Chain A
């Protein structure tokens, strides 16, 4: 036992040292960008919940494709808005949650997100001799306006996204490379043929919302409305390009079905007060453990300290977004972490009263308390599992629910480790050293 315990102790201390080093702010702030991720209710901002009307999408594509195109579009728009760390995610089958931290006036964001995507094709700028123009870095310079050509009805038209039927992933002619296949409608095919004809050997740029997304070289004039963009695409890159190309044609109407603007001052005030309150509560808790369980309580304080550092490290490492309800989850899990220690200590005291030696009493305490800790924590895990599942669907307040459940789940799982492994290792160390042998030190009258 002795050697194994030493190894465990070294392992725990090493892990503790490492996490402490990773958590303690050396050059970054604990609650800063590299520290804990705070939820919208704590740092303020706005959130919007959209519902996409999938009945109006192009019937040839799946719901999931339409949704990812819409999400991509919103992502681009929000980036344009310049928000730090926006969060855009799909909820359920047809809902999209948009979180904009720090944004107080969301009307502008709403307008921006609601716009339809503008996809157009532009030719390279050419000099007097008809040679393509490059900037000083060697990148091609494109015109400010979409490429124009004569349409089927004889009028001059711009080559824009509305003529593009769809873009999709395909495999190249030799089955090796991934390509993006374009399919134009009759009007688009006609325009595209004329434009490719006069641009052979040059680059034709694709702009989305005035942002260059790709500039393939035209190899030959393309008739018939089917074209391929080749390149050293990875699967993801090609898929991204296809989604971007589709974002004009895949547009589905979005309706706002929910929005919220948590008050940041309320959140900041709340977090400050709540942290202070939690500090007071924890101080009383530790004092109580010390007075009631004496030496065992001291060990519990140590293992709770380790528990706290580990928990902080896990929360900031993954990172798990900390909301008010998440903080509540941490507090409840703290209660359960203490509970595991209390269960073990009560058991140990019983065994001591029954006349066992301290070493035997502690081992028996751990063994007997284990079933109770296991069964009671598994029921908590069940509750957490249901809550996390609930948080995956539904409106944004479900976020709070899953935030609570995730921190509680992590906290309880961690508490099983600290109570069983950390506390036991410390106690075995003390027993082996035979420093404290008086049962009174364990809170038992002799």
Chain B
């Protein structure tokens, strides 16, 4: 039998490193939020006749100057090679101001200019979206904590089970967010409402796996297969190993196919799912149950004795 629980020290070490890296990435690169969360206007400016690649640099700088003259100094026009249009993301402006901008550009460039607005979001609404997203994540975590505590109420100390499950979720969420902060820095991947959706799907998926493992521990405890809790947990992890891997694998087939061949609009959303499923499977097998054992054996105390300023209670 593979000894998962016996190697828990290693798993915790690996996870601690990953979480540390995620936190470091987050604090260095931050997250680049999309318009959903920051508010603002994105504009596509197309010229008729189309802007040639050779003149794009010159028009780009001219466009930049004009935007500054109109008081939109933060606007940075980008040339889109596929459509030969310019893309600008700037502060929130009203539809009338967009029309004025279009008229102004028409006279300055002396060609037909079409300004369209792919997305516009007032800062107040963006704030509300961001706040709602945060509330949703917190409520979901608390509700799941309560449900797990309730589902395992016949176990001794059910609160521990819930807490371990929630720690496992937070671990997954943190790692996925960390990876996306790196992606944001490297490729300008933005955090939007769809990302939050993906993250919540990951939360649901991760807790689903963890509950399956816990369910087996519950069953094995009532059968009292071993007096040693660590062995009971390990037995349960090994018994559910086939199921966990198969389920993850089958879901991964579909998600991976979507990631490789699917449409561009859901590319990063699918990436969230992909990463979340991999990390979630790892946590449910190597972290959640092991945390329970660690708590049961009072290893927190052993660990805390290494830390300065923490009074030893035992």
Which A residues contact B (CB, under 8 angstroms)?
41, 49, 51, 95, 107, 110, 255-263, 266-267, 269-274, 276-278, 280-282, 284-285, 288-289, 292, 324-325, 327-329, 331-332, 334-336, 338-339, 342-343, 346, 350, 368, 371-372, 375-380, 382-387, 389-390, 393-395, 397-398, 400-401, 404-405, 408
Contacts and interface: CB of A to CB of B under 8 A. Distances in A.
A383 B257 contact: no
Contacts of B144: 379, 382-383
B194 A400 contact: yes
Contacts of A292: 246
A274 to B, nearest CB: 4
A338 B256 CA distance: 16
Across chains A and B, which 9 residue pairs bring their CB atoms closest together, nearest first? Answer: A270-B263, A335-B251, A281-B257, A281-B254, A397-B193, A257-B122, A383-B204, A277-B261, A277-B262
Contacts of B253: 281, 284-285, 288
B201 interface: yes
Interface in B71-123: 94-95, 99, 116-122
A263 to B, nearest CB: 7
A272 B249 CA distance: 24
Interface in B192-251: 192-194, 196-198, 200-201, 203-205, 207-209, 211-212, 215-216, 218-219, 239-240, 242-243, 246-247, 249-251
Given A339-B250, A382-B140, A386-B200, 4 more contacts: A257-B124, A350-B239, A397-B36, A401-B136
Contacts of A255: 94
B208 A278 contact: no
A342 B118 contact: no
Given A267-B265, A277-B258, A379 B193 contact: no
A376 B243 contact: no
Given A284-B257, A332-B273, A394-B132, A379 B118 contact: no
Given A285-B254, A382-B143, A397-B192, A404 B122 contact: no
A397 B129 CA distance: 8
Contacts of B143: 382, 385-386
Contacts of A110: 95
A328 B266 CA distance: 8
A269 B197 CA distance: 22
29 contacts: A107-B95, A107-B99, A259-B119, A260-B119, A261-B116, A262-B118, A263-B118, A273-B261, A288-B249, A324-B269, A325-B269, A327-B266, A328-B201, A328-B273, A332-B251, A334-B254, A335-B247, A343-B247, A350-B239, A375-B151, A379-B148, A379-B204, A382-B140, A383-B203, A387-B140, A394-B128, A395-B121, A400-B197, A401-B197
A342 to B, nearest CB: 5
A395 B125 contact: yes
A44 B47 CA distance: 22
A124 to B, nearest CB: 41
B147 interface: yes
B246 A346 contact: yes
Nearest to B256: A281
Contacts of B59: none
Given A372-B215, A379-B211, A266 B265 contact: yes
Contacts of A281: 253-258
B270 interface: yes
A336 B255 CA distance: 13
Contacts of A263: 118
Contacts of B194: 324-325, 397, 400
Interface of B: 36, 94-95, 99, 116-122, 124-126, 128-129, 132-133, 135-136, 139-140, 143-144, 147-148, 151, 192-194, 196-198, 200-201, 203-205, 207-209, 211-212, 215-216, 218-219, 239-240, 242-243, 246-247, 249-251, 253-258, 260-266, 269-270, 273
A270 B243 contact: no
Question: Which secondary structure dominates chain B's binding surface?
Answer: helix
Question: Which secondary structure dominates chain A's binding surface?
Answer: helix
Contacts of B212: 343, 372, 376
Nearest to A49: B125
A338 B250 contact: yes
B204 A339 contact: no
A395 B240 CA distance: 41
Given A261-B117, A377-B208, A390-B136, A325 B197 contact: yes
A255 B118 CA distance: 18
Contact of A393 (B132, B139, B140, B215): B132
Given A328-B266, A408-B201, A278 B247 contact: no
B193 A375 contact: no
A417 B132 CA distance: 32
Contacts of B273: 328, 332
A257 B125 contact: yes
Contacts of A390: 132-133, 135-136
B262 A256 contact: no
Given A110-B95, A288-B253, A270 B204 contact: no
Contact of A372 (B122, B139, B211, B250): B211
Given A281-B258, A383-B140, A289 B250 contact: yes
A52 to B, nearest CB: 14
Contacts of A41: 265
Contact of A256 (B94, B129, B203, B207): B94
A371 B95 CA distance: 55
B151 A288 contact: no
Nearest to B138: A386
B246 A342 contact: yes
B119 to A, nearest CB: 5
Nearest to B118: A261
A267 B270 CA distance: 16
A248 B180 CA distance: 50
